[in-house]
Chains A and B, each alone.
Chain A
């Protein structure tokens, strides 16, 4: 199956700093990418959807100025957590889809554990 990677797999940063997480589709072109966050013992919550070359669409309650998403190429999307605070500590998972249609299968990355101290 298709492979999606994330980097880094875990990161610790100090409160007030920014951190960037990369999501790459390794063997296919991802027209659409998604970012999810997961709190302990909870399911995944969709944060935003991004189509290559377009601005991301954020879910209700997600601050677009805090969680900056860039999908500049068909194989790379980045999530930047700006001015991170301890409450932003979470598990962030990206997924990628080869087409914009919902009928295309989504492939998930291994996740990035963010800890803000």
Chain B
């Protein structure tokens, strides 16, 4: 069964820092990998989707990479802002959709 792990579970950084969130998965037979943001008590906002044939995707200050062979993805956030504070979830699509354990990010003004 696919297992998706995110490290760290929680992260606190001062405003302006660049940061990296990690996601690892055990089965490399995936169709795609997606990063989501979830604010407290809210639903999911899709940030980036990387198809299995792609290596990275970029949107604004966000860059996500995918190394399928090693079972890893990273989400890079440049020049972090307090508004980036949220929980970030990665999810992989294999024979079904598998969510990671999440990273709770706090950006301190």
Which positions in A face B, CB cutoff 8 Å?
Answer: 1, 6, 34, 41-44, 46, 49, 91, 93, 95, 102-103, 105-111, 113
Cα separation A49 to B95 with both chains bound (whole Å): 12
* B100 contact from A34, A43, A110, Cβ within 8 A: A43
Cα separation A52 to B94 with both chains bound (whole Å): 21
Known: A102-B31, A103-B31, A105-B49. A34 touches B97 (CB 8 A): yes
Known: A43-B101, A108-B43. A102 touches B49 (CB 8 A): no
Q: Given A34-B97, A102-B94, 12 more contacts at CB 8 Å?
A: A1-B46, A43-B89, A43-B100, A43-B101, A93-B43, A102-B96, A102-B97, A103-B93, A106-B97, A108-B43, A108-B44, A108-B46
Q: For the side of the interface on B, what is the size category?
A: 20 to 34
Known: A93-B44, A108-B43, A109-B43. A46 touches B31 (CB 8 A): no
Which positions in B face A, CB cutoff 8 Å?
Answer: 31-32, 34, 36, 41-44, 46, 49, 89, 93-97, 99-102, 104
B96, B97, B101 interface centre (most CB from chain A within 10 Å) = B97
